[in-house]
């Protein structure tokens, strides 16, 4: 069991398999009763984590060429999991490390995601244009999935706006006319008195 955990299997999957394995409660009781089993399980989990973070044969050191290769595939609308499964590409964990440690790569990655959103948007339009009476249900599911994805990738461009929000910016100017005097040109006698009431003959104002 520990060997299977070390190779990447989830404990829940192992215990629910119908091959004579104990239930989760029974396994936890075994670990409490048998310290060696508990130690073996913890070591297996560490090995699993180590293998995930640095799989054998995968590049670990960041280079500009590798960064450009990853971003290029992202811009082509490929998923990160798909990219990292390709020969010569880093693992997903390594890419996340690079994003945290290399600002230039992080900036290029963000730009690639924006391009990816545009490409996916175009793909959704092509799917809609090619929909038929037999394929429309599947096509609608694909389009809805793409719409959700591009909304996450480029929320300012493709994200759903709250109800009632204008499509463009709205400028609001607030003025307190009660604090203004001499509104109009120099030949005008019109002023604004207290409480914002317009008077054409300001000499009638009472103190």
Q: Dump pLDDT digits (tens) for 92-108.
A: 889 999 999 999 999 99
Residues 154, 128 share a domain: yes
Q: Are 147 and 157 in contact (CB under 8 A)?
A: no
Weakest-pLDDT range from 12-16, 79-83, 121-125 = 12-16
Higher pLDDT pick, 3 / 135 = 135
To the nearest whole percent, how much of the chain has pLDDT over 90? 33
Range(s) of the domain holding residue 11:
2-53
39 within domain boundaries: yes
pLDDT digit string, tens, across residues 28-41: 776 677 777 677 76
163 within domain boundaries: no
pLDDT digit string, tens, across residues 123-182: 999 999 998 888 889 999 999 999 999 999 988 888 876 665 555 555 555 555 555 555
Weakest-pLDDT range from 4-13, 46-55, 145-154 = 4-13
Residues 70, 147 share a domain: yes
58 within domain boundaries: no
Residues 191, 106 share a domain: no
196 within domain boundaries: yes
Quote the pLDDT of residue 27: 66
Residues 68, 43 share a domain: no
89 within domain boundaries: yes
pLDDT over 60 (residue 202): no
Q: What does the DSSP 8-state code read for residue 86?
A: S
165 within domain boundaries: no
Residues 68, 135 share a domain: yes
Quote the pLDDT of residue 198: 46
Residues 38, 10 share a domain: yes
Residues 131-167: b if buried by 16+ CB within 10 A, e if exposed = beeeeeeebeebbeebeebbeebbeeebeeeeeeeee
In the chain, how many domains are there? 3
Q: CB within 8 A of 194, min separation 6: which ones?
A: 178
Q: Which of 124, 96, 128, 127 is nearest to 109 (CA)?
A: 96
The CA angle 148-98-110, to the nearest 5 degrees, is: 35
186 within domain boundaries: yes
Residues 116, 45 share a domain: no
């Amino acid at each position: 069991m520990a060997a299977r955990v070390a190779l990447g299997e989830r404990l829940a999957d192992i215990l629910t398999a119908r091959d004579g394995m104990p239930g989760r409660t029974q396994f936890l009781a075994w670990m409490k009763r048998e310290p060696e089993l508990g130690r073996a399980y913890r070591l297996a989990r560490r090995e699993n984590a180590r293998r995930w973070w640095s799989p054998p044969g995968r590049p670990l050191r960041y280079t500009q060429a590798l960064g450009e290769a990853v971003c290029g595939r992202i811009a082509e609308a490929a998923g990160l999991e798909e990219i990292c499964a390709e020969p010569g590409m880093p693992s997903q964990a390594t890419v996340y490390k690079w994003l945290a440690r290399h600002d230039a790569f992080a900036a290029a990655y963000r730009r690639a995601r924006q391009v990816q959103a545009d490409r996916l948007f175009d793909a959704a339009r092509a799917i809609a244009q090619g929909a038929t009476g037999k394929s429309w249900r599947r096509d609608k599911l694909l389009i809805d999935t793409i719409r959700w994805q591009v909304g996450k990738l480029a929320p300012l461009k493709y994200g759903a706006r709250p109800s009632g929000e204008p499509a463009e910016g709205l400028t609001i100017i607030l003025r307190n006319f009660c604090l203004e005097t001499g509104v109009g040109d120099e030949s005008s006698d019109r002023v604004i008195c207290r409480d914002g009431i317009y008077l054409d003959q300001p000499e009638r104002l009472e103190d």
